[in-house]
Amino acid sequence: MGTGSLTRARALRGFVALVGELGGDGAELFARFRIPIDAVEGNDPDALVPTRSVARVLETAAAELGCGDLGLRLAQRQGPEILGPLAVAVEASPTLGAALDCASRYLYVHSPVLTVGAVPDPEGVPGVTGVAYGSTEPLPPQVADLGTGVLHRIVSLLAGGPYGLRSVHLPHEAPPAPERFREFFGAEVRFDRPAAVLRVPGDLLRRPVAGGDETVRAIAIEYLETHFARPGRTVTDRVRAAVDRSLGTGPVRIGSVARLLRVHPRTLQRHLAAEGTTFETVVDEARRDTAERLILRTDLPFTQVAAMVGLAEQSALSRAARRWFGESPRALRRAGPGGLPAPPVPAAHG
């Protein structure tokens, strides 16, 4: 897993103490896999270690200590703080859906191979949705358990307690003590599934986050955007990020975005054209995605939604929503996420 990628060292925070409690030597394991203990337990939130080493030290410790739930035990000791600066943006989000969107977009700051996001319920039950934890590469069992366990703890924190977890899917064989997993999650755990998924109530993503603060979130996202380069990032991605930050603050014009990116507007237009898009298309897609989130996952008045996506009045939002979704904003909110038509497939960039 992750032969060349790097992961934040905080992903192993608590490992040495846990291994010691189980009768092992965590420092020796770190030394064996060339993981600097100061990088993991120190105060530098930006310290990185090879992703492959994280997986190998977890799997080796579990095998040598005979502890099939090692990843879960480590998850019990961790929370949002392991995400470093991403945690600030996630915890300041207005809803759980916005927090998940933020985590999905910026998880590369923690590890470029990991993914998280909403998915259809893998069991197809109405009123249930999935929150999936995955990787662009195969997930070793302990990594899957650690990541899914931390995800569960973060969702619990953002929701203010139990959030109605229906069951959990994990993509590996059942361990010798599966009851430990049910105890940790407080729900049934099913093993040997295609992916790691938390099955949650369909309305969970619309619930507000206690302590959500849009100003803090905007500052945190600005920090992420300016300090951490997204792997394989295109000009379109950079323009989209700038547009997302600008929506609702005033007219979104190519000149102002070009200044943010320190290029001439005509140069920016040429780069976008080379990637098969235009500035107007990027702005429209940003408005569409933001409007979708605000309509479906908040109870904000539609006049406020219109202002937050940079439209002058509610009638403009109504016209745009019919063009984007084939429905009025009111009908969309009434139908909920399940009633939203699939978005068009975007043109390939590059």
Token pair recorded at residue 242: 């700038």
- The pLDDT of residue 231 is 67
Number of domains in the chain: 2
For 220-278, the pLDDT digits (tens) are 988 887 777 666 667 888 889 889 888 877 789 999 888 877 789 998 999 899 889 99
Please choose, from the candidates 70, 50, 49, the residue with its C-alpha nearest in 3D space to the C-alpha of residue 60. Answer: 70
Instruction: Say if residue 94 is in the same domain as residue 15.
Output: yes
Identify whether the C-beta of residue 306 lies closer than 8 Å to the C-beta of residue 317.
Answer: yes
* Percent of the chain whose pLDDT exceeds 70: 93
CATH at residue 175: 3.90.1520
Residue 344 pLDDT level (bands cut at 50, 70, 90): very low
In a domain, residue 144? The reply is: yes
* Percent of the chain whose pLDDT exceeds 90: 63
pTM of the model: 0.68
Please choose, from the candidates 124, 138, 207, 226, the residue with its C-alpha nearest in 3D space to the C-alpha of residue 166. Answer: 124
Residues in the chain: 350
Residue 45 pLDDT level (bands cut at 50, 70, 90): confident
Instruction: Say if residue 122 is in the same domain as residue 271.
Output: no
Domain final position from 138, 172, 206: 206
Question: For residue 161, what are the domain limits?
Answer: 6-206
Distance CA 211, CA 234 (A): 33
pLDDT at 114 over 50: yes
pLDDT greater at residue 176 or residue 233: 176
In a domain, residue 335? The reply is: yes
Distance CA 253, CA 265 (A): 10
pLDDT at 342 over 50: no
- The pLDDT of residue 28 is 97
pLDDT greater at residue 246 or residue 180: 180
- The pLDDT of residue 246 is 83
In a domain, residue 225? The reply is: no
210 CB-contact burial (10 Å; exposed 0-12 / middle 13-18 / buried 19+): exposed
Instruction: Say if residue 185 is in the same domain as residue 293.
Output: no
Give the Å distances, CA to CA, from 207 to 80, 94, 165, 204: 18, 9, 14, 5
- Kindly give, in sequence order, each residue whose CB lies less than 8 Å from that of residue 92, ignoring residues fewer than 6 positions away: 209, 211, 212, 213, 214, 216, 217, 220
Residue 346 pLDDT level (bands cut at 50, 70, 90): very low
Instruction: Say if residue 259 is in the same domain as residue 145.
Output: no
CB neighbourhood size of 192 (10 A): 10
CATH at residue 262: 1.10.10.60
In a domain, residue 251? The reply is: yes
pLDDT at 282 over 80: yes
In a domain, residue 296? The reply is: yes
Instruction: Say if residue 54 is in the same domain as residue 193.
Output: yes
Instruction: Say if residue 140 is in the same domain as residue 77.
Output: yes
In a domain, residue 223? The reply is: no
For the chain, what is the mean pLDDT? 89
Region 204-222: mean pLDDT is: 89
Instruction: Say if residue 49 is in the same domain as residue 198.
Output: yes
Identify whether the C-beta of residue 27 lies closer than 8 Å to the C-beta of residue 61.
Answer: no
Instruction: Say if residue 42 is in the same domain as residue 168.
Output: yes
Q: With b meaning 16 or more CB within 10 Å and e meaning fewer, what string describes 168-177?
A: bbbbbeebee
Identify whether the C-beta of residue 52 lies closer than 8 Å to the C-beta of residue 172.
Answer: no
